[in-house]
Amino acid sequence: MNHSLLRNRTFVFMMIGEAIQGAGIWTSIIANLQFMQSHVPSDLGKSLILMCGLFLGVLISPQAGVWADRYDKKKILLISGLVRCLAPIVMFAAIHYQSVAIMLLSVVIMQVAATVYMPTVQAALPSVVPASELLKANSLNFNVITMARIGGTAAAGILVSMMNLYTVYALSLVFYVILVMLITQLRIPNTADSAAARKQEKIRFTELFPLIRAEPSIFIGLINSGVITLFLGGFNLLVLKFSQIQHKPELMGWIYSLEGTSILIAGIFAKRVIGMRNLVTSSTLFMLLFALAFAGMSFSESSYAVLGSFVMFGCAVAFFFPMVSTLFQIKVPKEAQGRFFSFRGMLDRVMFQISLLATGACLDWFGISTFLLTLAILTISSGILTLFIAKRKSMDVRQPITVDTVAGGK
């Protein structure tokens, strides 16, 4: 096994930071839901409050991308980390005054920090990791995010039942301070020829669109990942619906556990299986596996069919998203990656909100089986269409074989 990534101090610190901020987001969501339980009786009201942060994230994503491309990425991460520390501090005031309005301010602060932090990390990876290790780095990054989601939700569920909210948010603050300390140890080289010249230059977010039009492989990656996001946005609603249909509350825990575990296990083999294969055609072929998983989930009254389909879905996720991220990092120029990953984050947030509303409406109007079969048809259609385009235009994107020297490993 190649341990070069684990010897790269900057990469290791970035992954630890990803784990802290990911677990922190999920812990905050569950703690905020616990706070709202006694202050916001309406489920719609809870949803609207949580969506406020996402909506603001969509608005500032373009500017966040410009900052990541124009300024030192380490400083951007440091500032976003310091801003994130304000979120639990604001919640102390919200708990003291029993104020939903103050809690909403905390939600907004958390989302703003995440909107700036996440694309900056994605844009920084090619600068600290050799090009030949990008796929492995993205697979490991995705596994870290998955473990943070699983661990964060599990830990938060235990903490809110055993401790008061003051203590939960105090622990969050401690971990966010640790995150800031880790960021100070990062070594992220500037990718532009001259940082000073770049600051003088007027950088526009709209410069991305000609780039996307000129590079069809980027467009294919965005289309296919957008289709999968339609499912991910309503993931929690679907899991809840499966447990209701089968009258098994414990099914929710099994689904989350098996899906997360399958991502972690499959992610270990992603680099080895994909190797030097074409990232465009390989990622589009996995759309067929996604479609098969969605079709299997349509047998909603069978626990075995549902659980097996979620395992299949987790395996597909473990391969698909690292491949797409690597494709973007290879094809998007380094000086534009901050804006690009902010744009991608903005698309994800919009799709998540659309998906959340669409999933709820479709479950009420058509039922879960019809919804999932429709999604399977849409997914396989997207996969076949994009595969045809990729073959027709002879798209071939692969990891470089040569190992670059990067500053992050020093």
**CATH code for the domain of 370:** 1.20.1250.20
Per-residue confidence (pLDDT) for residue 193, from 0 to 100: 46
Distance CA 199, CA 180 (A): 25
The mean pLDDT value for 272-293 works out to 88
Per-residue confidence (pLDDT) for residue 248, from 0 to 100: 82
Distance CA 344, CA 54 (A): 14
The mean pLDDT value for 198-203 works out to 49
Per-residue confidence (pLDDT) for residue 37, from 0 to 100: 72
257 pLDDT tier (thresholds 50, 70, 90): confident
**Total count of residues recorded for the chain:** 410
Indicate if the pLDDT at residue 57 is higher than 70.
Answer: yes
Q: Please identify, among 151, 185, 219, the residue that sits at the C-terminal boundary of a domain.
A: 185
**Residues 155 and 60 both lie in one domain:** yes
The residue that leads in pLDDT, 135 or 216, is 216
Indicate if the pLDDT at residue 32 is higher than 60.
Answer: yes
The residue that leads in pLDDT, 49 or 217, is 217
The mean pLDDT value for 299-318 works out to 93
The mean pLDDT value for 191-207 works out to 52
Distance CA 171, CA 185 (A): 22
- Are residues 385 and 108 in contact, defined by beta-carbon separation less than 8 angstroms? no
Query: In terms of pTM, does the model score above 0.75?
Result: no
Count of the separate structural domains present in the chain: 2
406 pLDDT tier (thresholds 50, 70, 90): low
Give the closest residue to 146 by CA, choosing from 280, 12, 314.
314
Indicate if the pLDDT at residue 124 is higher than 70.
Answer: yes
53 pLDDT tier (thresholds 50, 70, 90): confident
Distance CA 65, CA 80 (A): 13
**Cα distance from N-terminal residue to C-terminal residue, the chain:** 21
pLDDT digits (tens, 9 = 90+) for 135-173: 788 888 878 887 787 777 777 777 777 888 899 899 889
**Residues 259 and 331 both lie in one domain:** yes
**Residues 230 and 163 both lie in one domain:** no
Residue 91's CB is within 10 A of a number of other CB atoms, namely 28
- Asked if residue 201 is part of any domain, the answer here is no
**Residues 269 and 360 both lie in one domain:** yes
The mean pLDDT value for 67-86 works out to 89
111 pLDDT tier (thresholds 50, 70, 90): confident
**Residues 115 and 225 both lie in one domain:** no
Distance CA 322, CA 134 (A): 9
46 pLDDT tier (thresholds 50, 70, 90): low
**Residues 227 and 332 both lie in one domain:** yes
The residue that leads in pLDDT, 179 or 237, is 179
- Asked if residue 408 is part of any domain, the answer here is no
191 pLDDT tier (thresholds 50, 70, 90): low
- The overall average pLDDT reported for the chain is 82
The residue that leads in pLDDT, 178 or 250, is 178
Give the closest residue to 281 by CA, choosing from 378, 383, 134, 377.
383
**Residues 281 and 151 both lie in one domain:** no
274 pLDDT tier (thresholds 50, 70, 90): confident
Per-residue confidence (pLDDT) for residue 212, from 0 to 100: 79
**Residues 125 and 169 both lie in one domain:** yes
Per-residue confidence (pLDDT) for residue 194, from 0 to 100: 44
**Residues 338 and 238 both lie in one domain:** yes
Residue 167's CB is within 10 A of a number of other CB atoms, namely 12
**Neighbouring C-alpha atoms within 13 Å toward the C-beta of 197:** 6
Per-residue confidence (pLDDT) for residue 21, from 0 to 100: 85
The winner for highest mean pLDDT among 77-81, 118-122, 208-212 is 77-81
pLDDT digits (tens, 9 = 90+) for 326-346: 888 888 887 777 778 778 878
Ranges 31-45, 70-84, 264-278: which has the least confidence: 31-45
**Residues 2 and 140 both lie in one domain:** yes
**Residues 169 and 213 both lie in one domain:** no
Indicate if the pLDDT at residue 58 is higher than 70.
Answer: yes
The mean pLDDT value for 208-227 works out to 86
Give the closest residue to 105 by CA, choosing from 115, 92, 118.
92
**Residues 136 and 224 both lie in one domain:** no
Distance CA 80, CA 15 (A): 16
Instruction: State which residues form the domain around 70.
Output: 1-185
- Asked if residue 325 is part of any domain, the answer here is yes
Query: What is the DSSP-derived secondary structure letter of residue 98?
Result: T
Instruction: Give the helix/strand (H/E) hosting 304.
Output: helix 303-331
Indicate if the pLDDT at residue 197 is higher than 50.
Answer: no
96 pLDDT tier (thresholds 50, 70, 90): very high
Helices 337-365 & 216-233, crossing angle to 10 degrees? 40
The mean pLDDT value for 114-123 works out to 86
